Amino acid sequence: MLMKSPPADAGGVVGRLRTWPAHPLAVPFLLAIVMLAIGAQAACLYDHPNPANDEPAHIGYVAALARGDLPTIDTSSGYDGSDEAHSHVWTANHPPAFHALLVPIWWLSSGDAGAATIAMRLVNTAGFAGWLFLVGLIARELVPRRRWVPAVATAVALTPTLAIRSGFVMNDGLGSAAALLAMLMTIRMVRRQVTPMRVAVAAIAGTLAAGTRAQGVLLVALCCLVVLIVGVRQHGWVRGSAAAAVVGGVPAVATGWFYLRNYRLYGDFTGQDALLDKFARSPIDHVFDVFALRTVIESLLSTPIPLLALTVLTPIAAIAAARRGDLRPDLAWLLLGTNGAITAANIAHFISAGGGFHDRYFMQVMPLLATATALGMLEVARWIPRSSAGDLREGLVATCWTAVLLGWLAGAVAVLEWFDLVAHPNRIPVAGATPIVLAAAAGLTALAAVAVMVRGDRRPSEGQLSAEPALYSDQSMFQSP
């Protein structure tokens, strides 16, 4: 009997492109491009340096390093602020890793501060895009048997305010991306094996995270503890302790000097108290005063759909999973939960002491928040009667949620940019067609992401039916092998 031969390129480039929409990370990749386009557009639209996003201080930090100086919070930024304190490099309590990477841009700009600022903004935008893709990667590691979770989790993390803030000079993009990379390597060591490559990547990423923001130090410490536990369990005390020593020791040696410098200059390792004194901040007397902060209101108004899902649907999903017996202790989830709890406590303490609030403070906690929110949103699929369509009902629900979130993103970004640009109509640094082209690229890529989900909804993801249990088998909702 004659058999049809497969197409010559079935396993090649064309074959991979045909099956690419079914890959669980296809949508996170496309949404990272959406973040990149929105951030690049913001970098072109907003006046520079932008005081509302601490740009004068960050640019002043880079300029000081370019001169060969390591600034303090009292070093002049070279820009006029609303008062003397705001004309200083008040971000100098942060380690210099991010700013040091920008020094070559400053040198190459030949004194053109505008071009240098836009180029430095784009570096942060790339960091935000990488961070967003890592949210999807971590969601995939946490719940590998449910292919729609990474897509929805990435859409949840792509909030309007974070998308716009990715277009300014700040160290959050690079620092958070590095922190999530260290977290991803640690989770893979929990899920699979502690290997020299994963230990090395975790150590490098942890060094960059701790060398960018103080939040990274907390994450490095937690990753070190988790690697010690799993390393000892897998390879014994000697090799396990050595792996943990590398993951925690390399960042400590590389960045510890800066935090000791902070302690010598300001009396604490982060310089937080000195900054509160510098700006004469007063402690908040009542918890309800937090909701009077402009940035808190902005964050709440820009993300109502994920917040509602997290507070309503996620508890319902957790209770249902507990009743099915799917909730079991898991070290990876414990890592994320502990990091989230300590981060929330630190933010609450900072705000109560008079500090400000920004949603970017939660970027290192986003894998936990976004994945939990996605699981809550996808719980709706269990309310739909089963059919012979297998997992198509969850794909339909995931596609609808993603489309709604991206539609909200487009509207919210348009409104936020409109009001900002109406306030400063003559201060757009890059006029012409470039911002319009970037906006169109973001919109088309978002539509492509939804189209990929619609197409992927009609077929199983690559390897899922042959290598993983069915979606609604007794395998855990939160647990993976």
pLDDT in tens, 404-416: 999 999 999 999 8
DSSP labels, 321-364: HHHHT-----HHHHHHHHHHHHHHHHHHHHHHTT----GGGGGG
424 found inside a domain: yes
212 found inside a domain: yes
Closest listed residue to residue 163, CA positions, set 118, 138, 134, 131? 131
Q: 476 and 468 in contact (C-beta within 8 Å)?
A: no
95 found inside a domain: yes
For tokens 């999530």, what's the residue?
180
Q: How many domains does the chain have?
A: 1
pLDDT tens readout for residues 66-107: 999 999 999 988 888 778 888 999 999 999 999 999 999 999
Q: List residues bridging with 222 in a β-sheet.
A: none
At 343, list the tokens: 């981060």
The pLDDT, as a whole number, for residue 253 is 96
Q: 124 and 169 in contact (C-beta within 8 Å)?
A: yes
Q: What residue ranges of the chain have pLDDT lower than 70? A: 1-18, 287-288, 386-392, 423-426, 457-481
Please, is 1 exposed, middle or buried when counting C-beta atoms within 10 Å of its C-beta (0-12, 13-18, 19+)?
Answer: exposed
147 found inside a domain: yes
The pLDDT, as a whole number, for residue 419 is 81
At 124, list the tokens: 């942060």
Q: What is the dihedral sign for C-alpha 25, 29, 32, 34?
A: negative
Closest listed residue to residue 170, CA positions, set 316, 75, 53? 53
423 found inside a domain: yes
The pLDDT, as a whole number, for residue 15 is 60
Range of the domain at 360: 25-459
478 found inside a domain: no
The pLDDT, as a whole number, for residue 351 is 85
106 found inside a domain: yes
470 found inside a domain: no
The pLDDT, as a whole number, for residue 350 is 86
The pLDDT, as a whole number, for residue 357 is 81
